[in-house]
A and B are shown apart, each in its own frame.
Chain A
């Protein structure tokens, strides 16, 4: 079994060992005294009680070292309280024993050597326990915020002190031995140097300082009381129990008293300035709160609340408010220590105040970014500071700070306020940016939805029969686009094919594109002529298009029995037609007017219809201006000539391949695949 002693067990063990050692020591001491008085030579070595005493010390040193480790609290008052409590217990026991001694003073028992030895040993044990426990706490205080150097000093001191425990083997006394005096001198010097380490004092607040002063005072009283007990003048002491001659105890006393004295004085002198230190600390914390407020999921108003609170406490303002400008309506008010009635009255007074000073902001350009300092005569408040809150280069509002004393704002205070207000502004700015980012994210999400909706509008299969092949390709510059193509089977062997482009691009174009789809799908069912289709489509679109929007469209009716194409062009790019017989392509030039341009019945006058016949391997290429007007970095357009040449060169391919070649060449020409317009092409090849 793997047995591992816990610190609790070690604590108990050392305690028990310590007590047993004390009992043994008392017994041996008793025997020694007995030996002396009755001169019976018991042959007890002089080293034995010394050894027992040293072991007793060591066991209690170990005990307190372990027990202090368990005290995680860095609250110094708690630590001092610990020392005070142990001191209280030991002193009470000591006093009780003395009281008891006093009651039996007149009896023979009081003079008895056994009683003397017992009382002496009780007191001695109590003193040792108190000294050792105090020492462990003082160590923690000395080493608070330690440096490397301090640790070295301390280790030397403590090492020497531990070594001193065994000095009693030498049997030398303070009074007679020069070595004792020298060692004592060195240790006291070290102790005094170490006693200057009082960093912990600075971290006490005002209340804690008072408590600490009280506790240290009481601890010092215990120390002095015990010192008096131990320091029994030579004449009165029992000849062989001069504990003042124990180097360890004496040094410990000196160190503990010195440190108590130093702490006491330093705390005392720190009392008047402690409020300033606390103030600075609070400022730092408030500053941090201001910068952290976003992470805590606070909103803008809460940031302004923190600002007002921090600013007021930093400058000891008696009242104040933050006025946040709203785009429409009354400004939002966050107030502190002031009623709305009072606020309006004060504002009026500020407006009328004669003693106004403008303080230029070093970074601000506009005059409304100046801070204003006002002094009044007849008012509850005698001075006011007005600080504008500048968020994203705009005045988001003002902070008003009021004091009941005149000239209450010095330049130091104004600087602090400036820092606070700029930090608050940064927080608000961050908060707003975060909001914008979230909003953008939401828009993006919406656009993605729009994109998938629009994708559903693009036909998955294109109507055709065995007399022709058809293939299409479309790409939008943004998430959604305004290009449109579709097919409809009017009758057996009769198909409608349409390609269109809504003016502009993006979301508004996409809406109109979907309207166009609806119109096409409805009108196609009526099996209209190309002309009627255009007239009716224009009429329908006239009622739903935006004022400045229009749609260009090419409409085709392919009859595979007649082997004819009837077509009409409403402002759309001219269709490219490849004739197998001529081995050449040409543009089908016809007059036409874009849909939605003329929103009345006169439109009918502008519709032209042409009819051609097709032969095997003839190709119809439909496209939008995204392709013909695509530009490269030199601002050259892809252009009609290039399209024509490309089709001539690739007419032997099937529609899928032709499309691939065209788009490949297009990308090659533009130098990238990021075109700034929607682009679509539909290729029909007859069989």
Chain B
């Protein structure tokens, strides 16, 4: 199960992801990210504080948007990843392609 909320705060879009991003729920995550990119938000923050688990299908969602994020010069930042989830990102090497911060404060300080 996955729960996704989208809130516009100040000058950025905040996507909150809760639960598990596995093969069956990854589609919802994909739709929200796709929408957000299409809506031409320049800064998109993804709050993964309550993301308990991510499978390769979930990683595939983030991976598939990397090209477009770069192209549209979107500031796409993930934060609050649990150690376990972070390990998965690291192992695959996605940490080298995506901006990942430890918490929201750190993110806001950067933008």
The residues of A with any CB-CB pair to B shorter than 8 Å are 501, 503-505, 547-550, 552, 570-574, 591-594, 597-599, 606, 625
B61 adjacent to chain A (CB < 8 Å): yes
Partner of B96, one of A547, A572, A591: A591
B61 in contact with A606 (CB, 8 Å): no
Ranked nearest first, the 5 interchain pairs of A and B with the lowest CB-CB distance are A593-B93, A503-B56, A548-B60, A571-B92, A548-B64
Which residues, 81 to 98 on B, are CB-close (under 8 Å) to A?
Answer: 91-94, 96-97
Q: Can you name the residue of chain B whose Cβ is closest to the Cβ of A593? A: B93
Report which residue of B30, B56, B64, B91 has the largest number of chain A beta carbons within 10 angstroms of its beta carbon: B56
| A597-B66 Cα distance, complex, nearest whole Å | 8
A606 in contact with B93 (CB, 8 Å): yes
Type the 1/0 row for B32-69, where 1 means its CB is closer than 8 Å to any CB of A: 00000000000000000000000011011101101100
A571 in contact with B93 (CB, 8 Å): yes
B91 in contact with A550 (CB, 8 Å): no
Given A548-B30, A548-B63, residue A594 in contact with residue B93 (CB < 8 A): yes
> Inside 8 A of A593's CB, which chain B residues have their CB?
92-94, 96-97
Partner of A549, one of B60, B93, B94, B96: B60
| A159-B33 Cα distance, complex, nearest whole Å | 97
B97 in contact with A550 (CB, 8 Å): no
| Least CB distance, A547 to chain B, in whole angstroms | 5
A597 in contact with B94 (CB, 8 Å): yes
Number of residue pairs A-B, CB distance < 8 angstroms: 57
B23 adjacent to chain A (CB < 8 Å): yes
> Inside 8 A of A572's CB, which chain B residues have their CB?
91
> Inside 8 A of A549's CB, which chain B residues have their CB?
60
> Inside 8 A of B96's CB, which chain A residues have their CB?
591, 593, 606
> Inside 8 A of B91's CB, which chain A residues have their CB?
552, 571-574
B64 in contact with A547 (CB, 8 Å): yes
| A599-B66 Cα distance, complex, nearest whole Å | 10
| A574-B61 Cα distance, complex, nearest whole Å | 23
Q: Can you name the residue of chain B whose Cβ is closest to the Cβ of A506? A: B23
Given A597-B66, A598-B97, residue A552 in contact with residue B57 (CB < 8 A): no
Type the 1/0 row for B12-25, where 1 means its CB is closer than 8 Å to any CB of A: 00000000000100
| A571-B64 Cα distance, complex, nearest whole Å | 16
A597 in contact with B93 (CB, 8 Å): yes
| Least CB distance, B71 to chain A, in whole angstroms | 12
| A637-B25 Cα distance, complex, nearest whole Å | 21
Known: A570-B93, A593-B97, A594-B92. 13 other contacts (CB 8 A): A504-B57, A548-B61, A549-B60, A550-B56, A550-B60, A552-B92, A574-B91, A591-B96, A593-B93, A593-B96, A594-B93, A594-B94, A597-B97
| Least CB distance, B2 to chain A, in whole angstroms | 16
Interface majority SS (helix, strand, loop, mixed), chain B: helix
The residues of B with any CB-CB pair to A shorter than 8 Å are 23, 26, 30, 56-57, 59-61, 63-64, 66-67, 91-94, 96-97
| A181-B74 Cα distance, complex, nearest whole Å | 120
> Inside 8 A of B66's CB, which chain A residues have their CB?
597-598
Q: Can you name the residue of chain B whose Cβ is closest to the Cβ of A549? A: B60
24 contacts between A and B (CB under 8 A): A501-B56, A503-B56, A503-B59, A503-B60, A504-B23, A504-B60, A505-B23, A548-B26, A548-B30, A548-B57, A549-B60, A550-B60, A550-B63, A550-B92, A571-B91, A571-B92, A592-B93, A593-B93, A593-B94, A593-B97, A594-B92, A597-B94, A597-B97, A625-B56
> Inside 8 A of A599's CB, which chain B residues have their CB?
67
Q: Can you name the residue of chain B whose Cβ is closest to the Cβ of A628? A: B91
> Inside 8 A of B26's CB, which chain A residues have their CB?
548
| A466-B23 Cα distance, complex, nearest whole Å | 43
| A599-B63 Cα distance, complex, nearest whole Å | 10
Q: Can you name the residue of chain B whose Cβ is closest to the Cβ of A503? A: B56
Q: Can you name the residue of chain B whose Cβ is closest to the Cβ of A631? A: B53
Q: Can you name the residue of chain B whose Cβ is closest to the Cβ of A592? A: B93
| Least CB distance, B92 to chain A, in whole angstroms | 4
| Least CB distance, B70 to chain A, in whole angstroms | 10
> Inside 8 A of B57's CB, which chain A residues have their CB?
503-504, 548
| Least CB distance, B101 to chain A, in whole angstroms | 19
| Least CB distance, A605 to chain B, in whole angstroms | 9
| Least CB distance, A567 to chain B, in whole angstroms | 15
| A250-B60 Cα distance, complex, nearest whole Å | 103
| A597-B63 Cα distance, complex, nearest whole Å | 6
A504 in contact with B56 (CB, 8 Å): yes
Partner of A597, one of B30, B61, B92: B92
Report which residue of B60, B94, B97 has the largest number of chain A beta carbons within 10 angstroms of its beta carbon: B60
| A548-B96 Cα distance, complex, nearest whole Å | 18
> Inside 8 A of B63's CB, which chain A residues have their CB?
548, 550, 594, 597
> Inside 8 A of B59's CB, which chain A residues have their CB?
503, 550
> Inside 8 A of A598's CB, which chain B residues have their CB?
66, 97
| Least CB distance, B90 to chain A, in whole angstroms | 9
| Least CB distance, A92 to chain B, in whole angstroms | 90
| Least CB distance, B94 to chain A, in whole angstroms | 7
| Least CB distance, B72 to chain A, in whole angstroms | 16
Q: Can you name the residue of chain A whose Cβ is closest to the Cβ of B94? A: A597
> Inside 8 A of A501's CB, which chain B residues have their CB?
56
| A599-B60 Cα distance, complex, nearest whole Å | 13
| Least CB distance, B47 to chain A, in whole angstroms | 22
> Inside 8 A of A547's CB, which chain B residues have their CB?
64
> Inside 8 A of B60's CB, which chain A residues have their CB?
503-504, 548-550
| A247-B93 Cα distance, complex, nearest whole Å | 115
| Least CB distance, A401 to chain B, in whole angstroms | 46
Q: Can you name the residue of chain A whose Cβ is closest to the Cβ of B92? A: A571
| Least CB distance, B93 to chain A, in whole angstroms | 3
Q: Can you name the residue of chain B whose Cβ is closest to the Cβ of A545? A: B60
| A599-B67 Cα distance, complex, nearest whole Å | 9
Report which residue of A591, A592, A593 has the largest number of chain B beta carbons within 10 angstroms of its beta carbon: A593
| A310-B91 Cα distance, complex, nearest whole Å | 68
Q: Can you name the residue of chain B whose Cβ is closest to the Cβ of A482? A: B56
| A606-B67 Cα distance, complex, nearest whole Å | 16
